[in-house]
Amino acid sequence: MLHLLGVNLPDRKLVSTALQYFYGIGEPTAAKLCEQLKFPKTIKVSELTEVQINDLTNKLSGMTIETDLKREIREHVMHHRNINNYIGKRHAMSLPVRGQRTRNNAKTAKKQNGRWVQRRGFSMWTAAQSSPLQRFMDKSFF
């Protein structure tokens, strides 16, 4: 098993398939990478030479993948939330962002947007709600 940039690539897979184990690399991007690096289409990860592995590592290190991409996406969402535009409001309410219908089907968006918002504690209601201890401390007695 080859370990590149924090991701384990299985030896028995084709290189174009194994590259899809990286977050942010899909089938078209993997095919382009293999074409740019002049890898045969039938080469497997275990058949790569050290030079090919180094070239692949150098190429991947110049791309925005894995945690960098996740951080960038999170920053874009938070930017929209902070400037309080339509997209940010839709993210905050766990609703579809790109104009889809919500009358019947919004289950996927509610799962994905809501999971992101709730897991990180960014729901709309957290600012309005406060703990009982915080409310007690906010009261002035004099």
Instruction: Select from 55, 61, 50 the least CA-distant residue to 22.
Output: 61
What does the pLDDT read at residue 142?
57
Pairing mode, if any, of strands 7-9 and 2-4?
A: antiparallel
Confidence of residue 118 (pLDDT cuts 50, 70, 90): low
For 39-91, how does the pLDDT look when each residue is reduced to its tens digit (9 = 90+)? 999 999 999 999 999 999 999 999 999 999 999 999 999 999 999 899 998 88
Confidence of residue 106 (pLDDT cuts 50, 70, 90): confident
| C-alpha pair distances (Å), 46 with each of 34, 51, 52, 64, 137 | 15, 13, 11, 25, 62
What does the pLDDT read at residue 76?
93
Confidence of residue 107 (pLDDT cuts 50, 70, 90): confident
What does the pLDDT read at residue 120?
53
Instruction: Select from 58, 53, 29 the least CA-distant residue to 43.
Output: 53
CA–CA separation, 133 vs 130, rounded Å? 8
Letter for the amino acid at 138?
D
Confidence of residue 96 (pLDDT cuts 50, 70, 90): confident
Tokens 């309080």 locate to 84
Confidence of residue 140 (pLDDT cuts 50, 70, 90): low
Confidence of residue 33 (pLDDT cuts 50, 70, 90): very high
What does the pLDDT read at residue 102?
81
Letter for the amino acid at 3?
H
Token duo for residue 37: 């690096």
